Structures are given as structure tokens and as C-alpha cells.
Amino acid sequence: MPQPGNAAQRVTKGDGEPGSLPASRTDRSISTGSVGPMCGIVGYVGPQDALAVVLEGLRRLEYRGYDSAGVAVRVADAADGALIWAKKAGKLANLEKVLAEQPLPAATLGLGHTRWATHGAPTDRNAHPHLSADGRVAVVHNGIIENFAALRAECEAAGVEFASETDTEVVAHLLAATYEQTPRREGRLAEAMRAVSRRLEGAFTLVATHAAEPDTLVGSRRNSPLVVGVGEGEYFLGSDVSAFIAHTRNALELGQDQVVELDRTRGVTVTDFVGTVVQPKAYTVDWDAAAAEKGGYDWFMLKEIAEQPRAVADTLLGRLGPRGELVLDEVRLSDQELRDVDKIFVVACGTAYNAGLIAKYAIEHWTRIPVEVELASEFRYRDPVLDRSTLVVVISQSGETMDTLMALRHAKDQKARVLAICNANGSTIPRESDAVLYTHAGPEVAVASTKGFLTQLVACYLVGLFLAQVRGVTFEDEVYAVVADLRRLPDAVAAVLERMDPVRELARSLAGEDKMLFLGRHVGYPVALEGALKLKELAYIHAEGFAAGELKHGPIAVIDHGTPVVVIVPSPRTRGSVHGKVVSNIQEVRARGARTIVIAEEGDDDVLPYADDLIRVPRTPTLLAPVVTTVPLQVLACEIAATRGLDVDQPRNLAKSVTVE
Ligand code: AGP
């Protein structure tokens, strides 16, 4: 059986008796804990080399977690129905090395997993797939099975010895036993999967195979993502479509509490957990396969930064209807419901939350509706006041962030209307929302969000303008004027990107720092927060963003000789004297020894005497300025991290999609 350091193993038919749980194996220590809650899953059945397809899919999904990786394949012509697997702690490259040394035989069915661990060490033996004691069932899992302890006790009482510390393994044993108890007929494995799924509590995506079913792969999902790819005589499963876009663009959405059977003869069958057949929603993936590759850049993040002019333009494309109205992708809200909105909450996490903070300035300004911005992880626990006339805007690049999903569900329970701004088509958050506006950023692979953020800002602006228009507080020509400004943004972002060489040079001079501050005011304040977040997550430098006016209330004490302070300066055309106040703030920090790094628009010469380093950005209307001022901060963080020799795309301790609370 799989052991640490013994990666590639052959498993043959075991001694499990029909109708019983499999017989016991050798003693192993047992500890509680569950694993794999935000992992990447791939499944394939078809004529191609299954291992190659699965590994390629895992490569694209590795952003979801990189604590360990594993594969299992069903050997094509093995009379005894052998499953063979390999798994290894660490990045996918470790597993690939093992497979290069010990190649697996040809197979036409396979599944794979890349793991992000929460509890339980990221070891070989905790890596997925997990196998039943008789080696006839292999399972990969994303999520947490909350009642696994009771199920494990039940298996152990029946004599099963567990080989890992995971919650997942219990599914392998239950599925093997349930399969034996299921009558021999078409769809037997799916039937067993339904029976097992009904017993599970928590969040799970499961993909499984049984040695006796060489052409059948089954999947199951609850509160965790899984999409189906349909090719010519071949079928795919993936945590998201990037797992299979190199092979097919035809995808099927799986709903909540559904089981899918992929069979080379019978095709795709989707049912609920009881067995009622349901018609899955088909859609075409419009992401380019090449978009998921690095395209010649050293890092996905660099490529994604460079893609921002296109991503912003795509997010604007086709959004205005013939009457000047905003075209939402899916609206299950009437104009009257939107007119009735008397309060808006914007709810999100991390970078998406920072986008929400900027949205507040724009939406309140254009609609005069009060907007509150909330961290999704705090929202439902503080019992917010919501009712039918509350609009909750949830923002999520991945559409799978568990904190945001739970906030969304809480909002719906309170009868509020929910509008999602999301990048991943078919993901859970837009599916459960009343209306959806997709950002057309394309796949964002780097853990640090860049084009996701800029397109979220554009989507927020569009939502604000749409609401203003529906409620009649803005004339159509006013909306058009802002939309015309929005249309100039791709060129403005491109212009910023063309001047990034001095920023890269600046970054190299900052690589040895251990703290940095970011200051901004008005919409520049959330930009400061975003700049600090990027630097923390990528370069592991302690960084804080502050509202510049707050400086004198405490933070200024941390400024020391040489402390780098990045200041996002608002346009001199900003209402009131905000610009002048920020210029004063630069002087204050400089007087205390700070090294001032100033981001200011072209023509703003007031900053010249106080800027040790000056980064120019094109003149942009005040509310839209974050779309350009954020870009140098992304480049700065990326380049500092690269200079420090860090993994820019996969920073330590992080994962792209945080599907646990
Ligand atoms: C961004 O750089 C971060 N990695 C992270 O804060 C992210 O924005 C957050 O986890 C929310 O993700 P989502 O947009 O997919 O919901």
C-alpha cells in the first residue's frame, strides 16, 4: 500500500467480500483531521493516454493547491481490473519526477488531485487518491466531510484499517462496500456514489473509479465545484474548466447535490442524490486554451498584468444595450426590484473586498443609495440588517470563495437580492445569485489577483451606472459620458504598462526592505490597501495601507529613517482640497525620514519637491483612477518578490481559491 517515499504502487484485487466492508489491514496510527478542502481535481475517460490528460489538467489546476499531488489510472487491458496510482508530497513536479522514473502502463481512464492542506500534514500518505482496502476503488476529494469521524468509526468497527489521516479515505471504503451491495446493472457505480453521498455531511467534490468498471468515472458535488467537459467520445471532470480547455470547450454545469456518471458507451448521466435524472446546463467555454499558459512570461502574474488592457476592454464589451442600458449576463431581478433598493452591501474577501471599497465611492456618488462594504467572513456573524429592499453585491474572481458564498446564502435567507460580480462562468456564487455580471478577465492563474481586480472595478462601475439609470437619478447621456471614460481605460492601462521599467528598477532597490507603508485618500485609500496586500502576499514584506488622513492618529510613529512610503496622490481636480492634503502628508512623512514613492498623474507638479521616486500615470477621472494607479503597485510587488527569489505565482501558505471558511 502507498507509503511515504514509495510513490508508484500497483494494487491488485483485494480480499473484500461481497456485501461486507473490506477486511482489515495492518495497524496504523490514527489521528483526527480533514484534508483537501480547496484542491484541484481532474478526471478523464476516453481514447487518449489518460495519465497525460490528467497530468496536464493538474498542471493547470495546481494554483488551487500545491501541497501534494496524485493520480490513479485504470490499466486498459488488465484482466483483473487493476488500478495503479502514484502520489507524492510537494508540488506536482515531484510527482512527475517519480512518474518519469517509474512510468505507469497505458490507461484510458484516470483521475488526479492537487492538494491544499488545512489539517493533517502534507505527506505522501495523506495525498490523494485514496483507495479502498481492497484497492478496487480510488477516490479524490475536495472539501471537508464533517461527519467523517462517525463514518470512520463505523468502518473500523467493521474491521477496516485506515491508511491515512484524511476524511477522504472513508469515502473510498464506503464506496467499495456500497458497490458490492448494489445490484449488478448499468449505472452501478453511480448508484453506489449516490448512496454514499447521501450519508456525507459537509462540503465535497468527489471523483471515483472502480476497478470493475473500466469505462466509467463518477463524480459527486455538494458546496464544492465540479464541471464536466464533453469531447468526441471522451469525457472530462475538473474543478474548473481550465482542467480540460485544451481538449474541449463544451462544458456542463453540475448543480448542488448531483452525481454525474461519465461512461464511454452511455455518455453523460446526471442525477440528484436520490437518482432522479436531471438535465445539466450546457455552455461553451470562451476562454482560449493558450490563455491558461504562461505565453512566454516568467510568471503567470506577469502575463496577467500585461493582459489587463484587453481584460478591461473585454469586460466593457457588449455591456450597453440599444437604450444605453447595462446588459447583465443573467438578471433574475425586475427593474422595479432595483428601484426599490434602499441599501447596498458589497461583500467580498481580500482583493475583491478592496474592489468593493472603491465601488462604494462610485455607487454612492452615482445612485445616492447608501453602500456598506463588508468582509464576507464577518458579514453574517454580526447579524447585518437586511430585507427585501437590500441589494447585496458579492464580488468573487473564482466564484467559489466559501466566506463569500456563505455571506451570499445568509443574505438570501434574509430575503435580500443578490447580484454577483464574478470571473468564473458556471461557478457556485453566480449560480446561487439573483443576477450576475461576469468580468471577462479570462483565467487568472497566479494566486495574486491582478486582472481580476481591475475587471471587478469595471464591473462595479457598470453596476453603479446601471442602478443610477434604472432609478432615474442619472440621465442616459451622463451614463454615456462615464462609459466613454471607461472605454478610454484600456489605453490608459496600456500606457502605464509601457512605462514600468523605472518601477522594476525601483523594486530591485526595495527588495531588502522589511516594512513598507502605503497611503491614499478617497479612492486612493483602497488602492493603498491593495498595494500593501500585494506586497505582503508576494514578497512577504510587512506592509500596511492607511488612509492618509489617519497617519497623524498613530501610524506615523512607525516611520523611521529610510522607511519606504508609497503615496497614491489624487488628481488635483478632485473635489475639495484632498489633493493638497495628501501633498502635505507626503511632506510630513518625508520630514520624519521616509523615502517617498509617489504615484501622481501627469502634470501634477505639486508633488515634485517631495517625491524621492515618482511614478506617473495618465490623467483619469477621479472615480476611475484606481484602474490605473493600482497597476504600478502590482508590478512593484511582483518585481520585489522575483528579486527576492520567491515563487511569484504560488506564494507560501496561500491558494488561489479559498473554499473553506
Ligand atoms: C488576491 O491577491 C488574493 N490572493 C485574495 O485576497 C483573493 O482576492 C480573495 O481570496 C478572494 O478571492 P475571490 O475573488 O476568488 O473570491
Question: Smallest Cα–Cα separation from 253: which of 282, 277, 232?
Answer: 282
Ligand 1 close to Cβ of residue 350 (< 6 A): yes
Averaged confidence pLDDT in the chain: 88
**Taking every pair of C-alpha atoms in the chain, what is the biggest distance, in angstroms?**
83
Ligand 1 atom having least distance to the Cα of 450: 2
d(CA 564, CA 559): 9
Q: Which domains does the chain have, with CATH numbers?
A: 31-285 (3.60.20.10), 295-487 (3.40.50.10490), 493-649 (3.40.50.10490)
Cell numbers for 611, please give them: 517625491
Q: Find out whether the beta carbon of 355 lies less than 6 Å from any atom of ligand 1.
A: no
Among the atoms of ligand 1, which is closest to the Cα of residue 656?
Answer: 4
Q: What is the pLDDT of residues 421-479, one digit of tens each?
A: 999 877 889 989 999 998 988 888 899 999 999 999 999 999 999 899 888 888 878 88
Specify burial of residue 37 (Cβ count, 10 A radius: 0-12, 13-18, 19+): buried
Mutation to probe ligand 1, out of 358, 397, 427, 654 (largest number of atoms < 8 A from CB): 397
What residues have CB less than 8 Å from 79, skipping those under 6 apart? Answer: none
Does the annotation count 39 as an active-site position?
yes
Q: Which ligand 1 atom sits nearest the alpha carbon of residue 658?
A: 10
Distance 37 CA to ligand 1 centre (A): 16
Nearest-atom number in ligand 1 for the CA of 654 is 4
* pLDDT (tens digit per residue) in 318-372: 776 666 667 776 677 888 998 999 999 999 999 999 999 999 999 999 999 999 9
Distance separating alpha carbons of residues 70 and 114, to the nearest angstrom: 7
From the CB of residue 41, how many other CB atoms can be counted at a distance below 10 Å? 33
| Predicted structure pTM score | 0.74
Of all helices (H) and strands (E), which one includes residue 542?
strand 542-547
Has residue 117 got a pLDDT over 60? Answer: yes
Cα 239 to Cα 225: distance, rounded to the nearest angstrom: 5
pLDDT in tens, 534-564: 999 999 999 999 999 998 899 889 999 999 9
- CA geometry: angle at 260 spanning 254 and 261, to 5°? 155
Q: What is the mean pLDDT of residues 172-194?
A: 97
DSSP code string of 308-351: HHHHHHHHHTT-B-TTS-B--SEE-S-HHHHHT--EEEEEE-HH
Beta pairing class for 417-422 and 435-438:
parallel
Q: How far is the CA of 397 from the centre of ligand 1 (A)?
A: 7
Q: What integer is the mean pLDDT of 501-511?
A: 97
* Average pLDDT of span 170-175: 98
- Among 39, 155, 422, 638, the active-site one is 39
- In tens, the pLDDT along 582-604 reads 999 999 999 999 999 999 999 99
Percent of the chain with pLDDT over 70: 90
Confidence of residue 22 (pLDDT cuts 50, 70, 90): very low
Structure-model confidence comparison of residues 224 and 579, the more confident one:
579
HSE value, Cβ hemisphere, 13 Å, CA-based, for 357: 20
SS3 447: coil
**Cβ of residue 449 lying under 6 Å from some atom of ligand 1:** yes
CA of 555 relative to ligand 1 center, distance in Å:
26
Contact 622, 414 (CB under 8 A): no
Report in angstroms the alpha-carbon separations of 386 from 31, 339, 340, 353, 418: 42, 16, 13, 19, 11
Q: How many helices (H) and strands (E) does the chain have?
A: 18, 26
Question: What is the rounded CA–CA span in Å between residue 658 and residue 605?
Answer: 43
Give the closest residue (by CA) to ligand 1 atom 2. 448
Poorest-pLDDT segment among 17-26, 97-106, 639-648 = 17-26
Q: How far is the centre of ligand 1, averaged over its atoms, from the C-alpha of 398 (Å)?
A: 8
Nearest CA to ligand 1 atom 3: 448
Which residues, 6+ apart, have CB-to-CB distance to 122 below 8 Å? 67, 68, 89, 90, 115
Of the candidates 88, 451, 534, 656, the residue annotated as catalytic is 656
pLDDT in tens, 254-313: 999 999 999 999 999 999 999 999 999 999 887 776 665 666 688 999 999 999 998 999
Shortest CA distance to 621 belongs to which of 310, 354, 421, 365? 365
